[in-house]
Amino acid sequence: MTKRFGFTLAEVLITLGIIGVVAAMTIPTLIANTNSAKFRSQFKKTLSTLNQAALMAQAQYDINYSDVKATCKSGNDQVSEGKVDDADTDATICAIMNDVLSGPKYIANPFDVTVKGTEKYKINDGSASGVTLTGYQAYELADGSLFAFKVEDKYCTKSSPCTGFIDVNGKSRPNKLVSCNNPDYNTNGALTCAVNPDSEHMTDVYPVIFHDGEVEPASAAARSVLTASNNDSAVEAGGAMGVQGIDYCDIKVNGCSPCAPCYEKGFNLQGLQEKAGSVGVRVNLAP
């Protein structure tokens, strides 16, 4: 009679338990790393798309963001045959988006977009209620990313850039502002900003400035993510010089600059240029 060997039920259960523990420890990290890589890649792609839009508008219609002389016309028919703003006749941000981008969807108020059920889009700042901003309009690009900008934005120059944000996966969660690991960075621009590839820091909302023919990250965390080339921590040393040679110390918004960011005045995501006493997410324009 042949004797057969195998595992006992207890041994199988113990093995499965060990596998479960290892999976519970590693799978969340793998998911976070995957999402971080996706957010990083999409941010770079969306920036490239918006920069190309300005270059194409300059080539085809002789306008870019600095030539924007008026606000977008009212109405929610900014796309297809019924579009209101046209780059042949209108020098507006909407005209550039309409005539240069492929398949954009105009959104009159991104914070009125339904995320799920009755829940409206808001930016997750770590609070229970999140942040809803006023005075914004947006475009949903063909890849699902969201580019939001202030309704009154015009004459967007290097010395007086316009401001907004990109949500790289649109209304889909987490809708959370990208942030440096070290919270003290927000009060000390001399520190190094590192952005870990985790769900807490490398997220999907990125503040931007745009001017002339360029759209650029408007916070140290966003710049760190842009310049990183892999899924390790994105790191940017403290200092004033941003990407593409712009000296952010020259940027003045309501008397504040990245080198004197007026933290006591509530310098925040509400257009990245709010007056004293406003509340919301505090974000350095470019520490």
**Rounded distance between C-alpha atoms, residue 180 and residue 202, angstroms:** 8
- What's the pLDDT tens digit per position in 208-247? 999 999 999 988 888 888 887 655 555 554 433 333 333 3
Least confident of 23-32, 196-205, 207-216, 231-240: 231-240
DSSP string, 83-116: -S--TTT--SHHHHHHHHSSS-EEES-GGGSEEE
> 205 to each of 175, 240, 265, how far by Cα in Å?
6, 22, 23
- What's the pLDDT tens digit per position in 72-107? 886 555 554 446 788 888 899 999 998 899 888 899
Give the number of other Cβ atoms within 10 Å of residue 192's Cβ.
Answer: 15
**Rounded distance between C-alpha atoms, residue 234 and residue 253, angstroms:** 27
Q: Where are the domains of the chain?
A: 14-265
Per-residue confidence (pLDDT) for residue 1, from 0 to 100: 57
Selected residue with higher pLDDT from 50 and 126: 50
User: What token pair was written down for 196?
Assistant: 């870990």
pTM, two decimals, is: 0.73
Per-residue confidence (pLDDT) for residue 16, from 0 to 100: 84
273 has a pLDDT exceeding 80: no
- What's the pLDDT tens digit per position in 157-193? 988 899 999 999 999 989 998 888 876 654 444 556 7
Q: How far is CA 56 from the centre of its chain?
A: 22
Q: What is the dihedral of CA 236, 271, 148, 176, to 10 degrees?
A: 50
User: What token pair was written down for 40?
Assistant: 């990083």
Mean pLDDT of all residues in 258-263: 41
63 has a pLDDT exceeding 50: yes
Q: What is the dihedral of CA 210, 202, 268, 141, to 10 degrees?
A: 40
Mean pLDDT taken over the chain: 74
Buried b (16+ CB within 10 A) or exposed e, 129-149: ebbbbeebbbbbbeeebbbbb
